[in-house]
Chain A
Amino acid sequence: MSVGLVVVSHSRKLAEGVCELAAQMAADVRIVPAGGTDDDGIGTSLEKIMTGISATDSGEGTVLLTDLGSAVMTAESALEFLEPEQQHRVLMADAPLVEGTVAAAVAAQTGKNVAEVTAAAESAGASYTPAGTQPDDGSAGPPASGASAEDSASGAWTLVNPMGLHARPASVVAQLLADLDAEITINGVDGKSVMMLMTLGLRPGETLSATATGPDAARAVELLAEQVRNGFGEI
């Protein structure tokens, strides 16, 4: 079993909607909503969160994603109620609800552990920076050292599927590349980050350019080319 997720929101509908969205990209992950008060009013419920944790923690752990103020506090309170042996594997992510849940779901789907899933959610906050204005921290270019010429590959393709690089294809790409031993940059962003790919907002007819470095670079570009050509399975 993978790491599970509990989506804590003030609103029952919001929590359910976020779960629905994330589940599209992570069919095997237990993602449970804990939205609204016990009588489904606006607010958060300790009981719903505790029930959510029980339903999602298979022993691999659970990550809690929250929306505003009191949701954070109620989730923190829930952690205090856990048995000591469960406390180390139930974590709360400091992440935006939608982006964080989606990123966590994809990470959990690819078999990451609870700390990695939490980190994936938290790094999704970075996607708030509009595409094209990413701080130049060097991640957008090939590494300065460590990769020889034989270890790099690149390619560019036109998107042919009718919806472009929306959520589902972005998740397909990120999962495809996740386990490869290569740094992959797609149109200037990290190709292994589903959130970063989504911020590109690439539309049909636009060009997806990839540069990969590392031992699996050629394989990464090959797999990517195949996905783009068959429209991420959507055509």
Chain B
Amino acid sequence: MELDAAWADKWMRLSATALNENRQRLTTLDREIGDADHGENMERGFSAVVEKLDADGVPETPGAVFKTVAMTLMSKVGGAAGPLYGTAFLRASTAAGSASVLDPAGLVAVLTAARDGIVARGKAEPGDKTMIDAWTPAVDAAVTAEAAGSGPVEILTAAANAAEAGLAGTEPLVARKGRASYLGERSAGHLDPGAASTALILHAAVSAAETAA
């Protein structure tokens, strides 16, 4: 149950499956307040990640897996989610460094770097109705869990659950960033698609850690 390259590989594959299963849901959310392409874009991006991992073999460290993911998402996703998730995984890769296994502190560093990367790239703040509203509570929960001495699976679970709660919290918000911000007040009453995909991806990280050998 170590967070090694095999876990990172499995995380990406489970993310691809979850995004594929939820493609319609994400696209519907995005149709309500955006341009109706988030489901397809994410599915295409993560399918490309799986193809890349299949073609090149699994890299040796979690950091190397994240770098492959970053490059692929930035080239294949197309929409804003490409550079946002791409930057998240790129910064995560740097934070993971050459460690072959992420310990709890390393895991928190990875999640924090990913969130900070998205903030740096998208310039969004909490409350803007973006994926940051899922990432920020997730990182906060991970920090708290790690400080309390939790193991990797517990930290990831805390992060994923907090992201889910953060997603629910986007519903009443008025969008201030991205395409949805053009809608102004009309964006309230809908969940944010980017926060929804974030919750799916973080849940996949938990599932991968629970099943990893």
Residues of chain A at the chain B interface (Cβ within 8 Å): 37-38, 41-48, 69-70, 73-74, 76-77, 80
Contact = CB atoms under 8 A, between A and B. Distances in A.
B84 A43 contact: no
Contacts of A76: 83, 121
Contacts of B76: 37-38, 45
B152 interface: no
Contacts of B157: none
Interface residues of B, number: 19
Nearest to A43: B78
Interface residues of A: mostly helix, strand, loop or mixed? helix
B90 A70 contact: no
B78 A46 contact: no
**Most chain B Cβ neighbours within 10 Å, of A41, A44, A77:** A77
Contact of A73 (B41, B80, B90): B80
Contact of A46 (B80, B82, B84, B178): B82
B58 interface: no
A73 B75 contact: no
Given A46-B74, A47-B75, A69-B178, A74 B83 contact: yes
Interface in B55-91: 71, 74-80, 82-84, 86-87, 90
Contact of B83 (A38, A41, A70): A70
**Most chain B Cβ neighbours within 10 Å, of A42, A46, A47, A48:** A46
Contacts of A77: 74, 83, 86-87, 90, 121
24 contacts: A38-B76, A42-B78, A45-B74, A45-B78, A46-B74, A46-B75, A46-B83, A46-B86, A47-B75, A48-B75, A69-B80, A69-B178, A69-B179, A70-B79, A73-B87, A73-B121, A74-B74, A74-B82, A74-B83, A77-B74, A77-B87, A77-B90, A77-B121, A80-B87
